[in-house]
Structure 1
Amino acid sequence: MPIEFNEKHQLFHLYNGKITYMIQLVHGKYVAHLYWGRRVHVLQPSNILPFKGRAFSPANEPADPQFSLDTLPQEYPAYGNGDFRTPAYQLQSPDGSTVTEFVYDSYEIIRGKPFLQGLPMAYVEEDEEADTLVITLVDSILGIGLNLYYTIYRDFDVITRSVTFENLGSKEVDILKCMSMSVDFHNSTWDWLHLQGTWARERHIERRPLTHGVQAISSSRGASSHQQNPFFALLSKGATEERGDVYGISLIYSGNFQASIEVDPFETSRVSVGINPFNFSWRLKPREIFQTPEALMVFSPEGMGGMSRTFHKMIRNRVCRGVYRDQTRPILINNWEATYFQFTENKLKEIANAAKGLGIEMFVLDDGWFGHRDNDKSSLGDWFVNRKKLPHGLQGLAGYLNGKGMNFGLWVEPEMISPDSELYRRHPDWCLHVPGRSRTLSRNQLVLDLSREEVCEWLIDTLTSLFQSASISYVKWDMNRNMTEAGSAALPPERQLETAHRYMLGLYRILEVLTSRFPEILFESCSGGGGRFDLGMLYYMPQTWTSDDTDAVERLKIQYGTSLVFPAVTMGAHVSDVPNHQAGRVTPIKMRCHVAMAANLGFELNIDKLSREEKELVRQEIQFYQQIKDIVQFGNLYRLIAPFEGMDTAWMYVDDNQGQAVVFYYKILATPNPPFLRMKLRGLNPEMKYKQHDDDRVFYGDELLKIGLTLPLIKKDYFSRIFYFKSC
């Protein structure tokens, strides 16, 4: 069993073949963090936790004047009784005070992994895959139980953490802050890496040294956001793609979050992540339980690449679910950038027919098919077909496509409501709002109040009827604005700050019902592109529209940064028209294909605008992608050259058997009189021979690993090439 308790040293040891996580009970009641990292067999607690009295640090144990909570590395710290650093939680009692004293009560070791009620999570398929430690603490004055959950997997170098608060008393208590995890590292010599951006420029990598004090990332937008992703990593100094210790933490949640790191004067680092405490509280009634979202924690001694490959394997196998989890994804065409709102049934059929001739497998109908929606000013909430555009309805269009051997997909934006809609005229109070305050519009729309049960039930019933109305194989679930006036007409005044989290719980309930009812539908999440690219959404929908920016050059940075956490199979990537609709750039069709082929290939353009030569190139690239998409979507990623550092970008995928590899190389702008570029590959078997598919050259694996591929001098902008190797 990979969890043991040493009674003598009061030591919990969680371990598998590669990692160890250790916790110690100090003075029989304080839960202290000892170690997280490479697998070790024995620790002497006295060697790890020396104590020394510090000026202005209160002595919490009279019999031990050297001991203070202010310097103890804790697993789930509080504020108010001696620890002045960032707390993991804060509760408010009926008398208004926020002082708590949770002390150790008991522990339990569970085979497998319990489910989180109402929340997405990492899961197990067999109990033998993991063990879970539950440490229970109690504040006897408040009558609140605090349960710390730790799961360690047998086959993944991963630990998950979450927390529950249980009201065991007779009085209501308000939760003001509740992080999903907290870890005190014993040093501060780390670089901090996170993913920042904005709409059409998501998940760019930012790395900088830790500094004294608090540094944090967060979202208060009602979504995980384009601006910050609920992921961060600590990197040892000098850590690279393949070398150095890296700790990565990603929150399995799609709403408001906060991740913070505090470095104290004694060079310890306190790390935490969870629901953003800003504008949040939760009233916990007697006998009620509050469950925090889960944090997925990865340690890698093999640099950022090792961290990413662990995340990818875990996400593909134990976060994503459903029949599509292990299936390669269809190549689709979406009509949005080809037609926007202005389309007819005949025009859609023309696009589909041209796409079918190139080898595209699915047609996706985007915005504008419902209500009287000819622009973005109306009809969200009116999920019935616009018969002027589609006289034969969705069923007629889907039947036509199926007859041509293509599947049919549909765009919806169910979480939104237009003021100009039949739904809003019937139920003007169904949107998030504060009585007496203006209702701020964004993209001419408001947000449905999914904290209300009747709204969720209406949406479930409406979408069930819609998805049953035609042969729908794919649904793109969009969400194109963030929350303002985040109040609910259905909640009393003391619960208004619960609205944003209750919204997420309502959304998760809707998604659980619909994805269970329609397992044959491939759901893709979207939020103005990548504004909700997080593990919470991937639990229900196994892929996400990576960004509304489809420019091949910008996508190099977006897809590279996204790959820090998320595998290629979760990334939707489309070949679009030029000049690009977001950046205005003109890039060759070949480069656009090659960038999109590094993820889930799709198209979003007017095929009729392509020349005969371009159409033939697209047809050939689609045929080639069919050969390699198993490796791309389910292989192991090795990032070779970062797009943030120059004009070159490269990455590669290797299958689990090391028998096949696909290398993607891109050059943005040519350089006059350039040096030769020798690109060393990774992940191959040094003893194997590999044959290159397009020129029959044969290489030993160690030649490609140690000497590399020498690229020809390139005298053109926006150049790309794919190398495909098979063992021979």
Structure 2
Amino acid sequence: MNTKTVLELNGTDSQLVLACGDSAEILHWGKPVAGDKTQAVLALRRPVPYGRLDNDVAMTLSPELGRGVFSSPGIEGHRDGLDWAPVFTLNHVEQHDDTLSLESADEGAGLTLLTELSLDKHDVLKVRHTLTNNKPSNYQVNRLANTLPLPARAGELMTYHGRWVHEFQTVRQPLLQGGYQQENRRGRTSHEHYPALVAGTPHFDEMHGEVWGFHFAWSGNHRLRVDVKTDGRRIMQAEEIYLPGEIALAEGESLTTPWLYASYSANGLNGMSHHFHDHVRATILPADFAQKPRPIHLNTWEGIYFDHNPGYIMEMATQSAAMGVERFIIDDGWFRGRNGDKAALGDWFLDEGKYPDGLKPVIDNVNRLGMEFGLWFEPEMINKDSDLYREHPEWLLAVDGYEQPTGRNQYVIDLQNDEAFAFLFSRLDHFLSTYNIAYIKWDMNREIVQPGHLGKAAGHNQTERYYALVDKVRAAHPNVEIESCAAGGGRIDFEVLKRTHRFWTSDNNDALERQHIQRGMSYFFPPEVMGSHIGAAHCHSTRRRHSIAFRGLTALFGHMGIELDPVKESQEEKQGFERYIALHKSLRPLLHSGKTWRVPTDDAAHQILAVVAEDKSEAVVQIAQLAMPTNALSGHVRIPGLSPDALYRVELIDAPENFNDIVNCQPAWTQEGCELSGEWCSTVGLTMPILDAETAVLIALKRIDA
């Protein structure tokens, strides 16, 4: 292809323009531009400065060292030391509506590269590559990265960091020279490095600035990087990290990268989130997901831990149902020999000492009370103190001759061992076939060290086999819903979400910490997949104490549940749980279908979250006071997303018990309500109430002129 052809992919609020000749280069990814693009190649032809290569070198969708691109290449590999610098020539292009397929080849190196791009109506761009070996000898792949360009004006990054019970923390940094790189080698998506980042124009915020958001849909080791070349061009790369010797393609074999999801927004981070949320709801979640309200959970873990007594658990279920719970889940401790976290993982047989009459009486009781029943499993894990390990020590995911460290007193099962895989499926299938189990909490409580299969590195295949196990369970039991839990938020990504229905966001139920954790997760995930529970007043992970009001309002903006023993709670506390469960149910249709807005504040001590109905007929707004306010008065709350010309009735619907006792008077609207236009709400807003630290209020808006 000697002449360049200009192609377009168009979303609703974004556009991708490519020039295709001997290679493909993205000319523009941003706001839609009308008109003929045939002159775009000429308009954007770069000058060539002295002191460099004599010809311009395009930044293709897979940058090539052999072409003269000195930044991180898209492919690194070799054939026993040969064919290590391939240069691909584009030889075939197909476009079908919003999808492009680009086939390139290096005949000398014996390699073919297929690039797939799509841009949907929700403005989410997807890209992946498939590399095929066409020669008789093996091709060793060291790296295969997805690459997308960024414009020179993308001068700032928002990236993620975290740890167990402190996930989804964000940090800002300038993007000037050099760049940024994060690596995750923990064998799962990880608490530390959630595989996403955002680039944008300097000082972008929730409402303003151009942003380009990226999410890498892979549940194992990954690398994200953003590079600034010395000529000012910028690229973003996302790739799976392959362990040494892990990927060797025989003749005719192919390797496909995970999908890189990306979205451009001209309206700040909220605009980007709306794109991702809409895409998740329309294309990733099961088609019937939205038709069923997300059931309110009670999970037994923080209530009873390993202390299981069927009669007591049935009483827990009775009191849970009375509070409005819709799904009752028995967590860890129900299977043979499981009296603590040091033994029995892998022995997926009911502990008849704890359950002498079996699980059926408990499940029947739960169902009679009108609730679904769920059960906890950790299928990928094994304790050495288990019958399974004593019978099959060879099922360990490990490298012979090395003693790897434990994590949570456990090890990982080699899912690439067909007998181990079949055993795990058979045990899951047994329980799901024998009992009326509607839900699995699928846990994964440790990081992976030395992922070896038959002595060779096997991190990639272990992740693929995890997908295969979940897929097989789903195929056999399509009506069973699955939660992805990995010691909380350790395995959260779009590829997992294709197979599951809910994430356990964090093992930390501390409402103050959850305000930050849930906000960080909200950039890429809608609230209905975000497990958010009301814990006990005394938080098990931080030892803090919070009021039921603060805990309840914090858990409201997600898939709500409770995590405690209702039998031991005071009547006052139980009434509080009932209140916030009922409040969540009343707002659930709005919360799980509307647009989420992270609202800018005049004081960093506040965090404000709003959900506005798609038809803009109603909204709910939470103001959380995270710390002492900076000033005696805290400015205004401005509520975006409403119809400017419509009139709304504004009312305070939940506040702390001492709301009116801590000041001479609160703003008049908190007592009497008021009627305001959508334009006033977004432009001028409401006077902020005065709140104690670690409290919150909830505001409802209803359109009254429709």
Asked if TM exceeds 0.5, the reply is yes
Who is 1:721 aligned against? 697
Per-residue Cα deviation, 1:265-295 (whole angstroms, up to 9, x for no partner): 2111121102124546411111112111111
The count of aligned residue pairs is 682
1:558 matched to 2:517? The reply is yes
Q: In the alignment, is the contact (CA less than 8 A) between 2:601 and 2:637 conserved in 1?
A: no
Who is 1:178 aligned against? 144
1:659-670 map, 5 Å: 659-670=617-628
Per-residue Cα deviation, 1:368-427 (whole angstroms, up to 9, x for no partner): 000110000111111111111122222221111111222111111011111111211121
Who is 2:685 aligned against? 708
1:48 matched to 2:13? The reply is no
Amino acid at match of 2:55: Q
1:646 matched to 2:604? The reply is yes
Deviates more, 1:208-217 or 1:244-253: 208-217
How far did residue 325 of structure 1 move? Answer: 4.8
Who is 1:30 aligned against? 23
Q: In the alignment, is the contact (CA less than 8 A) between 2:382 and 2:413 conserved in 1?
A: yes
Q: In the alignment, is the contact (CA less than 8 A) between 1:660 and 1:726 conserved in 2?
A: yes
Task: Give the unaligned 5+ runs of structure 1.
Answer: 1-5, 59-64, 111-129
1:191 aligns with one of 148, 153, 156: 156
2:59 aligns with one of 73, 78, 86: 73
Who is 2:548 aligned against? 589
Task: Give the unaligned 5+ runs of structure 2.
Answer: 654-671
Distance 2:221 2:290 in 1: 27
Q: In the alignment, is the contact (CA less than 8 A) between 1:151 and 1:160 conserved in 2?
A: yes
Q: In the alignment, is the contact (CA less than 8 A) between 2:297 and 2:325 conserved in 1?
A: yes
**1:138–1:9: structure 2 CA closer, same or farther, 3 Å change rule?**
closer
Amino acid at match of 2:32: R
1:255-334 map, 5 Å: 255-277=220-242, 279=244, 281-321=246-286, 323-334=288-299
How far did residue 631 of structure 1 move? Answer: 1.2
Distance 1:671 1:230 in 2: 33
Deviates more, 1:649-658 or 1:41-50: 41-50
Q: In the alignment, is the contact (CA less than 8 A) between 2:374 and 2:439 conserved in 1?
A: yes
Distance 1:725 1:468 in 2: 46
Residue 540 of structure 1 aligns to a residue whose secondary structure is coil
1:601-612 map, 5 Å: 601-612=560-571
1:136 matched to 2:132? The reply is no
How far did residue 527 of structure 1 move? Answer: 0.5
Who is 2:668 aligned against? none
Q: In the alignment, is the contact (CA less than 8 A) between 1:317 and 1:325 conserved in 2?
A: no
Q: In the alignment, is the contact (CA less than 8 A) between 1:335 and 1:365 conserved in 2?
A: yes
Who is 1:485 aligned against? 450
Who is 2:135 aligned against? 169
Residue 452 of structure 2 aligns to a residue whose secondary structure is coil
Distance 1:281 1:40 in 2: 44
How far did residue 21 of structure 1 move? Answer: 1.1
Q: In the alignment, is the contact (CA less than 8 A) between 1:678 and 1:707 conserved in 2?
A: yes
Distance 1:156 1:482 in 2: 35
1:680 matched to 2:638? The reply is yes
Q: In the alignment, is the contact (CA less than 8 A) between 2:140 and 2:245 conserved in 1?
A: no
**1:172–1:584: structure 2 CA closer, same or farther, 3 Å change rule?**
same
1:398-547 map, 5 Å: 398-489=363-454, 496-497=456-457, 499-547=458-506
Who is 1:109 aligned against? 95
Amino acid at match of 1:22: V
Give TM-score, length-normalised by structure 1.
0.90
1:178-257 map, 5 Å: 178-179=144-145, 181-187=146-152, 189-257=154-222
Who is 1:599 aligned against? 558
Identity value in percent: 27
Per-residue Cα deviation, 1:97-152 (whole angstroms, up to 9, x for no partner): 52212111211224xxxxxxxxxxxxxxxxxxx53211111111121110011112
Per-residue Cα deviation, 1:225-268 (whole angstroms, up to 9, x for no partner): 00011111111112121111110111111111111011122111
**1:148–1:54: structure 2 CA closer, same or farther, 3 Å change rule?**
farther
1:11 matched to 2:6? The reply is yes
Deviates more, 1:258-267 or 1:524-533: 258-267
Who is 1:548 aligned against? 507
Distance 2:81 2:211 in 1: 44
Q: In the alignment, is the contact (CA less than 8 A) between 2:621 and 2:699 conserved in 1?
A: yes
**1:17–1:673: structure 2 CA closer, same or farther, 3 Å change rule?**
closer
Distance 1:608 1:35 in 2: 60
Residue 194 of structure 2 aligns to a residue whose secondary structure is strand
Distance 1:146 1:74 in 2: 12
Who is 1:125 aligned against? none
Q: In the alignment, is the contact (CA less than 8 A) between 2:59 and 2:69 conserved in 1?
A: no
**1:453–1:334: structure 2 CA closer, same or farther, 3 Å change rule?**
same
Amino acid at match of 1:400: N
**1:604–1:359: structure 2 CA closer, same or farther, 3 Å change rule?**
same
Quote the RMSD (CA, aligned, Å): 2.0
Distance 2:273 2:325 in 1: 30
Distance 1:669 1:609 in 2: 31
Who is 1:374 aligned against? 339
Q: In the alignment, is the contact (CA less than 8 A) between 1:452 and 1:506 conserved in 2?
A: no
**1:137–1:446: structure 2 CA closer, same or farther, 3 Å change rule?**
same
Amino acid at match of 1:352: A
